[in-house]
Amino acid sequence: MSVHRLARKLMATRAVEESFFELSHVYFAGKRRVNVPISPTLSLHRAPVQTIAIAGGKGGVGKSNVAVNLAAALGSGDHEVLLVDGDLDLGNIDQLLNLRPDNSLCDVFAGICTLDDVVLQGPRGVSVIPSASGVMEMAHLSHIEYAGLIGLFSELPTDADTLIIDVATGLSESVLSFCRAVREVVIVVVDEPTALHDAFSTIRVLHQRCHVHRFRIVANKTESSRHGLDLYGALADLTERHLDVLLDYCGSVPLDAQLKQAVRQRRSVVEAFPRSPAALAFRKLAARVARWPQPQAPCGHIEFFIERLIDVADGTR
């Protein structure tokens, strides 16, 4: 049986249709009714999870390093973070953190294991869900299969207060599905004409296709704070001429030889070189992220950890 058929069966039996259909809550997104499944055993009135996608348009901007080190900085600051490798066919988060997974998301789709079986312990305060590497079938999942995967997170027994997903490069269905299912989208940009153009294209598509209206911007590999602001200004000028979106500048990460050294050591720079310029920048970014408002109600479409949002919404009525 193909991974696509297995994924549909997994989704139907575990996440979306049959198991909890009778307990579904109904919310409205405009005039569209949305049925949201709820597990009768996992609705424990836990706090909502802040969900963040790290995107970058083109490859080479350093979004995976931003995802890993933001997670590590939040984890070292007493947050419980779930770091997900959203590049389903060419994942590398496990390599960046020197982890050796026995299973991956591909095995979850194949019905070999559960999502909980895939979770690994990363840096302090960070749990990691690795993806597959070199599995072509995972690059061609359908929208409904991605919805099934996102729904599985509602069954995950975790105390995480923050989910960070490192999405794939480009504008594949996985990028669209994952960015639609989070509350915050971070765009990583570097000082290259193609990187700025691709960042703008990513913002435009996510705005038009996923209805994302606010984007958090991080300038990477900068030479100074002024350099980061100039990059943000160039991207803001481009978007203001063509799009009605809000860009929030979240700071810059300097070009730092110790960050490269940490990558070679397969560690986060926050752990390996805690006093390095890059580590200090990631801690500053983490402090800013920690101040972002927590989600308090469902948006009306499938989201990560949606049952916690439903619990909060029900509790305020």
> Is the per-residue pLDDT at 8 higher than 80?
no
Query: For the structural domain made of 3-311, what CATH number should be given?
Result: 3.40.50.300
Q: Are strands 81-86 and 162-167 parallel, antiparallel or unpaired?
A: parallel
Domain range annotation of the chain: 3-311
What is the dihedral sign for C-alpha 141, 146, 148, 150?
positive
Between these two residues, 153 and 89, which has the higher pLDDT value?
Answer: 153
In angstroms, how far is the first alpha carbon of the chain from the final one? 45
**Mean per-residue pLDDT for 131-150?**
82
Q: What's the token pair of residue 114?
A: 């559960």
- SS percent in the chain: helix, strand, coil, step 5: 45, 20, 35
Q: What is the structure's pLDDT at 316?
A: 59
User: In terms of DSSP bridges, do strands 32-36 and 25-29 run parallel, antiparallel, or are they unpaired?
Assistant: antiparallel
Q: What value does the mean pLDDT take over residues 155-167?
A: 94
Q: At residue 193, what is the residue type?
A: P
pLDDT at 38 over 50: no
In the chain, the amino acid numbered 86 is G
Q: What is the pLDDT of residue 104?
A: 86
**pLDDT > 90? residue 298:** no
What integer best gives the mean pLDDT of the chain?
A: 85
CB 7 within 8 A of CB 145: yes
Band of residue 246 on the pLDDT scale cut at 50, 70, 90: very high
CB within 8 Å of 61: residues ≥ 6 apart: 188, 189, 190, 195, 220, 221
* Residues 172-180, mean pLDDT to the nearest whole number: 93
Extract the tokens encoding 215: 């984007």
Structure tokens at 164: 């960070």
pLDDT of 248 strictly over 90: yes
Q: Residue 305: pLDDT above 50?
A: yes
Name the burial class of residue 158, with classes exposed (0-12), middle (13-18) and buried (19+) by CB atoms within 10 angstroms of its CB. Answer: middle
**Predicted local confidence at residue 205, as pLDDT:** 97
Categorize the per-residue pLDDT at 210 as very low, low, confident or very high, splitting at 50, 70 and 90: very high
- Please state which of the ranges 119-128, 280-289, 307-316 shows the lowest mean pLDDT: 307-316
Burial degree of 148 (CB within 10 A; 0-12, 13-18, 19+):
buried
- Global pTM? 0.86
CA 261 to chain centroid: 25
Between 262 and 39, where is the model more confident?
Answer: 262
CB of 96 closer than 8 Å to CB of 65: yes
pLDDT tens-digit series, residues 40-78: 444 445 789 999 999 997 889 999 999 999 999 999 998
pLDDT at 310: 82
Rounded mean pLDDT, 138-165: 90
Look-up: residue for tokens 């998301």? 105
